[in-house]
Amino acid sequence: MAPGIETRSANLYSVQDLRFMDQPDRLRAQYLAAQPFPHLIVDDLFPASWIRNILNECREDRNLCWKSFDTALQKKRGTQPDSDFPPYLQKYFDFINSGPFLRLMTQLTGIEALLPDPTLYGGGLHVVSGQGFFDLHIDFQHHPTTLLTNRLVIITYLNDEWDQTCGGNLELWAMNPARRAVEIIPHFGRTVLMEQSAIAAHGHPTPILAGRERMAVIAYFYTSDAGTQRVRRRRTSTLYVPRFGRSANARLQAALHNVLPQPIIRGLRTVRRVLRALPRRSGER
């Protein structure tokens, strides 16, 4: 084998590097039995060196393309779909979108024929700074472009020295009646595998402690069942779930978001940004 090929092969990630992968049956049983819907929490699934390299380069990279949210329902930012990532982050996503990893996900969840999304719609790198949050919601059920069915999400946290006091814990909620069933602290290297469905309510509604920054890398996996559902019934946006404690403004925004078509929602966001900028511009004259 040529020296160049040997070097490249040695640098590739492998499912053999992952922790607990010699116990797929045990992990699958845990995933399927979990309440309030199937999920799995694994600490240090990926080698710490992988996660540390991602964290270091993301702290230093100033060229990432962000999409920011600042509403009564969420205050955070995430990378744009089809973003160019720094090397270690791109290597991570290449690995989890690979055939061997997808087959492993099928072993753990029982979901056959999982498909990746190289554009990382809704995924990529997510950053929530001090006082940021993401209210209780159900993720988009279908990809807005391919219309593939969203079946699974994997979240890996990059947060050093994180504890209960920092806020931003991931909450999984049961429905009817609505109640928080699971609370997950986003420790460094912790990975959450979570089924996507019409009852998979989750969020991190408790604001992040001022001065802290919550970071996670996220990817969604899909299946193709286009022949079983009508296109017009497919939800391609987030659905906010009612809960106690929301402000009147947040309740109104949730109701509008859940009912109005996405082009109108985007238009309202644009108008809101313009209106918020007007006083600042007036002061500059």
Dihedral over Cα of 98, 100, 104, 109: its sign: positive
267 pLDDT exceeds 50? yes
Q: How far apart are CA 236 and CA 249, in angstroms?
A: 24
Q: How confident is the model at residue 64 (pLDDT cuts 50, 70, 90)?
A: very high
Q: Are 123 and 83 in contact (CB under 8 A)?
A: no
Q: How confident is the model over 114-149, as pLDDT tens digits?
A: 999 999 999 999 999 989 999 999 999 999 999 999
Q: What is the pLDDT of residue 221?
A: 98
Q: What is the pLDDT of residue 225?
A: 78
Between CA 109 and CA 121, with CA 54 as vertex, the angle to 5 degrees is 55
39 pLDDT exceeds 90? yes
Q: How confident is the model over 247-265, as pLDDT tens digits?
A: 777 667 766 766 665 555 5
Q: How confident is the model over 211-233, as pLDDT tens digits?
A: 999 999 999 999 997 554 544 45
Tell me if residue 140 falls in helix, strand or coil: coil
Q: CATH for 12-238, among 3.40.50.300, 2.60.40.290, 2.60.120.620, 3.40.50.12280?
A: 2.60.120.620
Of residues 273 and 171, more confidence is placed in: 171
β-strand partners of 230: none
Residues 170-182 have a mean pLDDT of 93
Neighbours of 209 (CB within 10 A): 16
Q: What percent of the chain has pLDDT over 70?
A: 81
For 234: left if phi > 0, alpha if psi spans -120 to 50, otherwise beta; the answer is: beta
Give the predicted TM-score (pTM) of the model: 0.83
Q: What is the pLDDT of residue 62?
A: 78
Domain coordinates of the chain in residue numbers?
Answer: 12-238, 247-285
Q: What is the pLDDT of residue 277?
A: 59
